[in-house]
Structure 1
Amino acid sequence: MKNHHNPRRTFLKNAALGSALATLTSGASFARTNPTPHVPQKFNLNYAPHFGMFRNHAGDDLVDQINFMAEQGFPALEDNGLMKRSVEDQKRIGAALEKNDMTMGVFVIDPGFNWEVALTTGKEEYKEAFVKECKKAVEVAKIVNAKWMTVVPGYFERNLPLDQQTAHIIDAYRLGADVFEPHGLTMVMEPLSDNPHLYLRHSNQAYMICKAVASPAVKILYDIYHMQRNEGNLIPNMELCWEEIAYIQIGDNPGRKEPGTGEINYQNVFKWIHEKGFTGICGMEHGNAHSGKAGEQALIDAYHQADSFIS
């Protein structure tokens, strides 16, 4: 049988082929000009980086750094030095957080006196300075929509019995609570491990002070790095004072770097915190184990690894 050439059939076949090719080409062009937007991988807990942690990726501008944090899926920010920034920068930070639907974590209340002469003394001048700074903190908190402020009582007063020092701190924190409670704000006291002269070093001390002050405006900042150094036994000790913990901070030990760089089993600790139903902030108050963009990416990866306790 002879194969007769059909011009109409050939035309239709070529037209269909051309249309399909045009569709594929158009799709490829569209994909190049309209890339799939980056969808950040969500974390189970509310981790909060700080400024400078991703400078190599985002640059020095504060807003650019916040935007990068949001792009990586971090839902919060903490900034210890917020009160010392200009009002203009505070407003820029607040606006950037709102734009990215991020939460402001802690900033530090610094009454202006050094830790060697602090609230343990019971002196009126230090209590007055503390209350004055608390009032300033209320105004800063309004700008960035913050809810938590870090406080530390300072050094031991070696000339006074320990119980008197504790009573002086309770008195001072009651005054601070009077400032913050009407605004729904909370100061979180942080036991530290920086040196042996610090009065507040253990979670049970902080728990006792919270119970004595008896205000929702005075709670515990449980810094896992400091508590690993001072007392260990992390999960049982957190359990003992859990009802007074309002804020958590992170850092592996030794070295005070990201999870996975030290001895703490952060995947297990994070799993426990999540199972407790904690919806507050876990501040990333530590350094980067490695420098440059590679070090910053390694830090991000470390958090995804430690946070991967749920399948």
Structure 2
Amino acid sequence: MERRSFLQTSTLAGLSALAFGSAGTAAAADARQAAGKPFNMDYAPHAGMFKNSAGDDFLDQIRFMHDQGFRSIEDNGMLKRDTALQNKIGELLAKLNMRMGVFVIDGGDNWKVSLTTGKKEFLDVFLKACEQSVELAKRVNAKWATVVPGYFERKLPIGVQTGHVIDALRRGSEILEKGGLTMVLEPLSDNPDLFMRTSDQTYMLCRAVNSPSCKILYDIYHMQRNEGQLIANIDLCWSEIAYIQIGDNPGRKEPGTGEINYKNIFKHLYDKGYRGVMGMEHGNAKPGKEGEMALIQAYREADKFM
């Protein structure tokens, strides 16, 4: 039996067993029927999420994702992968008719004081990373890339810092526009030093940059932590949102493991006409193959909003 067929058969059995153990034969039948079918929304797993089921090879993991019904991937570290592997990933995605979600534009300054300072040394690193990202995007057919402007410069007024960030993003957008790539700005909750933290602040930055290549990445996990009112804030910032990421809170695991009503949010996004990539920017709640099967089933459940 071919490796791909074996993996698919094993996963179908695992999903059925999981469903049987939790909800009986009817749920097992539903799991068997759903397994492998595309979801209503375009959820995108990342490298390593299914390594216990598919092995360590990222290409095998992508094939496994496709077999389970996923039609996109994302890979934060794609820019640092070697060119040969980037090309193979791009070719496989094209063959499977899958989309490439975000990778991160990072020249090494994302997690320190950088663009807020206005210093040329940080701007040059950022612009070089934008140029490299355009070339990568051609190899994997990427349309979106994550941008984080780094930490606050506490020695400067907030308005001056904001002006410096806007200037840098405008320069970056000029490069990305020519390559058909959109930077999606991600407000984060990881620590209080991060300059970009809320959806309304990010909306303001996008409006100031005023480029089709500068939009918002709305990460539901981070925004639940930083501001709440998820649906209301999505609506307020809708014109600038180009990409969605997922993670339940607390814990940053799959839907159903925390407090967020993902079924309602997915329905709201679908009803608004969103058909873009939904990045699965989270970990697995449980370890091993069992945890991977539970994750797939969690998405099947949250996706039942039609």
Task: Output the TM-score relative to the length of structure 2.
Answer: 0.88
The aligned counterpart of 1:187 is 183
3-state SS, counterpart of residue 228 of structure 2 = coil
1:247 corresponds to 2:243: yes
1:42, 1:53 → 2: CA distance? Answer: 18
Q: Deviations over 1:205-253 (max 9, x none)?
A: 1000000000000000000000000000000000000010000000000
In structure 2, the gaps of 5 or more residues are: 1-33
The aligned counterpart of 2:161 is 165
1:64 corresponds to 2:60: yes
The aligned counterpart of 1:148 is 144
**Cα 1:70/1:114, change in 2 over 3 Å:** closer
Matches within 5 A, 1:112-127: 112-113=108-109, 115-127=111-123
2:101, 2:109 → 1: CA distance? Answer: 24
1:40 corresponds to 2:40: no
1:78 corresponds to 2:74: yes
3-state SS, counterpart of residue 168 of structure 1 = helix
Matches within 5 A, 1:100-119: 100-113=96-109, 115-119=111-115
1:283, 1:113 → 2: CA distance? Answer: 23
1:209 corresponds to 2:205: yes
1:115, 1:195 → 2: CA distance? Answer: 10
3-state SS, counterpart of residue 220 of structure 1 = strand
Query: Which of 34, 45, 52 is matched with 2:48 structurally?
Result: 52
Deviation at 1:115, TM superposition (A): 2.7
2:116, 2:294 → 1: CA distance? Answer: 41
1:111, 1:163 → 2: CA distance? Answer: 25
The aligned counterpart of 2:171 is 175
1:303 corresponds to 2:299: yes
1:236 corresponds to 2:232: yes
Cα RMSD, aligned residues only: 1.0
In structure 1, the gaps of 5 or more residues are: 1-37
Query: Which of 269, 282, 287 is matched with 1:286 structurally?
Result: 282
2:139, 2:38 → 1: CA distance? Answer: 27
Deviation at 1:39, TM superposition (A): 7.2
Larger radius of gyration: 1
1:218, 1:75 → 2: CA distance? Answer: 24
Q: Deviations over 1:260-285 (max 9, x none)?
A: 00000000000000001001110000
Q: Deviations over 1:168-214 (max 9, x none)?
A: 00000000010011222100010000001111000001000000000
| Aligned amino acid, residue 256 of structure 1 | R
**Cα 1:114/1:43, change in 2 over 3 Å:** closer
The aligned counterpart of 1:30 is none
Query: Which of 123, 133, 139 is matched with 1:137 structurally?
Result: 133
3-state SS, counterpart of residue 167 of structure 1 = helix
1:263 corresponds to 2:259: yes
3-state SS, counterpart of residue 79 of structure 1 = coil
Count of residue pairs brought into register by the alignment: 273
Does the CA contact (< 8 Å) of 2:110 and 2:148 recur in 1?
no
| Aligned amino acid, residue 294 of structure 1 | E
3-state SS, counterpart of residue 221 of structure 2 = helix
Q: Percent identity?
A: 64
2:51, 2:104 → 1: CA distance? Answer: 22
| Aligned amino acid, residue 54 of structure 1 | F
Q: Deviations over 1:69-110 (max 9, x none)?
A: 000010100000001111111111111111111000000011
1:95 corresponds to 2:88: no
Deviation at 1:114, TM superposition (A): 5.2
